[in-house]
Amino acid sequence: MRILFVGDIFAKPGREVLAAELPGLRRDLKLDFVVVNGENAAHGAGITGKICDDILEAGADVVTGGNHSWDQREALSFIERQPKLLRPANYPSGTPGRGAAVFQATRQRKVLVINAMGRLFMDALDCPFAALDRELSRHRLGGTVHAVIVDFHAEATSEKMAMGHYLDGRVSLCVGTHTHVPTADTMILDGGTAYQSDSGMTGDYNSVIGMEKTVPMARFARKLPTERATPAYGEGTLCGVYLETDDRTGLAARVEPLRVGGRLAPVLPVI
């Protein structure tokens, strides 16, 4: 199976480059399934129902979230009506929405997608390792599902790496989101799980992690209160991870970074 994971969509530049590039990527890479992290899609903070629909219409099969999942208050209600939108699975019991679900890919194949959030330098949520164990206990890779994709939304690379090794052999891909910078550690772990510490941001990289540069620079340089930061609105880069799985086992057969458009050096898998 050929799968694409697209990193954090950040504001209008991220939405625009996704809409422009994803249909062609689905066609040219012959993709069977696409996961997109959309927690920063609405002006850099949260997601609205319309924006979620737009991401799905562009070619995503499921949209994941993170610590900004609820920045747009309407998400608290529309997530219950949108089964293709996930939020971290380790939110407390009773939180609206769900953190994992099985979705259908091409040729009737089933893909389990799990969204979880780290705790180091993040909000104090329930244990993500226990949440992943709970979700994985309900399914078997290569058996009840053909692939398992984990979006681990976390700050610390150490926590992300620990999660990757913890899940090795049990999921097809464990990929990090949240820090908005693509990492160079794309690899297949010993047990056959594909891993990358951060998929990167889909947005304007002539910025400070998506925000217009002036206000963040002033905050760091002067250590004084400033006006609120606003998104940068230059040309966007689409960043993500391309994965091919073994149809018999569901484990990774190939994994590569993907970057299209904007300021970063382009990287596109050869099919």
As annotated, the active-site residues are 68
Q: How far apart are the C-alpha atoms of 216 and 227, rounded to whole Å? A: 10
Q: How far apart are the C-alpha atoms of 207 and 226, rounded to whole Å? A: 17
Cα-based angle 112, 252, 262 (whole degrees, multiple of 5): 85
- The DSSP bridge partners found for residue 258 are 240
Residue 57 class from Cβ within 10 Å (0-12 exposed, 13-18 middle, 19+ buried)? exposed
Burial per residue of 133-160, b for 16 or more beta-carbon CB atoms within 10 angstroms, e otherwise: ebbbeebebbeebbbbbbbbbbbbeebb
Sheet with 252-260: strands ordered across? 62-64, 33-37, 2-6, 238-245, 252-260
Half-sphere exposure (Cβ direction) of 94: Cα atoms closer than 13 Å: 1
Q: How far apart are the C-alpha atoms of 32 and 23, rounded to whole Å? A: 12
